[in-house]
Amino acid sequence: MDIRYQLKPRAARRQKPFLPDGPLPFGQLRTDHMFLMDYVDGRWIDPRIVPYGPLALAPGAVALHYAQEIFEGAKAFLHEDGEIHAFRIDKNAARLNRSGAGVLIPPIPEDDQVQAILSLLDVDRLWAPHQEGASLYIRPFVFGTQDSLGVKPSSRYTFCVFLSPSGPYYPAGFREPVKLLVTRRFHRAAPGGTGAFKTGGNYAASLMAGHVAHEHGASQVLFLDVTDTYIEEAGAMNHFHVTRAGELLIPTFTETILRSITSESVLELGERHLGVRVRQDRIPVEQFLDDVRSGAITEAGGFGTAAVVSAVGSYVFDDATELRVGDGHIGPHTRKVYEALTGIQRGKRPAPEGWLFLAKRVESTARPGE
């Protein structure tokens, strides 16, 4: 893919490494540039890196009305050697195309997605935060731009990638366990629906649940399947728990659960790297809650790119009663998994082959359009 560069004038760009003062918010800041590419007449055309800014969009664009949109979330980390490494973005590229297949958005070659991300990271490398726990959050997304009100797939699309220097998703970071609301009032996904795809409509559908969770002092809802029998996942992370016998369980991926790349990584790392056995199973909610009550389950939490590894300290119910997990603090297995995963991401522990992608350093004078 031949990327066209239309960069900001040098003086208007970040000049020095980004050294933030105090904790960084999640997802609020932007870097200088974004990547764009359009789908017109059956082809992806004009890949380009341009200044970050508003997009021109017809008010009748399909994505604005019928949510024909897919997105990804990935992270890149500044290592001690000054290089920036993106974590498993080939997996994000493959998942973007799987989500696309689910809502009839045409695929983008995975290599082109990876190149788009690495090139953008290279251009905006001075935005990578140095802070402990911070990273460059990567948001690739595709949306239908055809100006048409028929409920039909758009004939045109835009693929965009932008970057956000970000701190932890939950403001207290890894230090504070989160609370989840267990309720039968809301469901995130139904069989035959779009739950396994990362499409904007799923997140619009979860906003009210999130609002009610906040009213209960919880961060998110722990969604159950539509029969209210099994644990599925939270609004922005997969769920896990650890048994007293020292086994970590993640609900089996189904068509109503997003296949988390963080969960997949934990499953791949397994006991050898994590010191805890990891497997997937269907998790009946009532048995789960009984086991938390009896102490047979000692730790619980969530996995996600934004959430990383977040401990769950307690569950709250519709009637405002609460159930603490273990002693309510971060448990030893959760801590070990957090340290192993973030150690790999930050270059402090050896990464399995192919997990880290180097943002390629290209001399800026060699780029056209400077």
Given phi > 0 = left and psi -120 to 50 = alpha, else beta, which region is 41? left
User: How many C-beta atoms surround the C-beta of residue 4 within 10 A?
Assistant: 14
Q: Which residues bind ligand COI (CB under 6 A)?
A: 73, 203, 236, 304-306
Task: Confirm or reject binding of residue 148 to ligand PLP (CB under 6 A).
Answer: no
Number of residues that bind ligand PLP (CB under 6 A): 12
CA nearest neighbour of 196 among 278, 102, 301: 102
| Interface residue with ligand PLP, options 258, 269, 292, 359 (CB under 6 A) | 258
- The residue among 62 and 236 lying less far from ligand COI, judged by its C-beta, is 236
Q: Which is nearer to ligand COI, 218 or 236 (CB)?
A: 236
Q: Does 237 bind ligand PLP (CB under 6 A)?
A: yes
Which range in 101-109, 167-175, 260-268, 346-354 contacts ligand PLP by CB under 6 A? 260-268
- 266 touches 251 (CB < 8 A): no
Determine, following the binding rule CB under 6 A, whether residue 210 of this chain makes contact with ligand PLP. no
Tell me: does residue 233 bind ligand PLP (CB under 6 A).
yes
Q: How far is the CB of 202 from ligand COI (least distance, A)?
A: 9
Q: Segment near ligand PLP (CB under 6 A), from 178-186, 224-232, 234-242, 352-360?
A: 234-242
Please report how close the Cβ of residue 72 comes to ligand PLP at its closest, in angstroms.
Answer: 8
- How far apart are CB 236 and ligand PLP at their closest, in Å? 4
Q: Which residues contact 144 (CB under 8 A, 6 or more apart)?
A: 61, 62, 63, 66, 68, 69, 105, 153, 154, 156, 157
From ligand COI, ligand PLP, none, which one binds at residue 303 (CB under 5 to 8 Å depending on kind)?
A: ligand PLP
Nearer to ligand PLP, 75 or 333 (CB): 75
Supply the minimum distance, in Å, between the C-beta of residue 258 and ligand PLP: 4
For residue 113, state whether it binds ligand PLP (rule: CB under 6 A). no
Q: Does 262 bind ligand PLP (CB under 6 A)?
A: yes
Rounded distance between C-alpha atoms, residue 136 and residue 131, angstroms: 11
- The rounded distance, in Å, linking the Cα atoms of 77 and 93 is 18
The residue type at 306? A
Q: Taking the mean position of all CA atoms in its chain, how far away is CA 233?
A: 14
CB of 183 or CB of 206, closer to ligand COI: 206
Chain positions contacting ligand PLP, by CB under 6 A: 73, 233, 236-238, 258, 260-262, 303-305
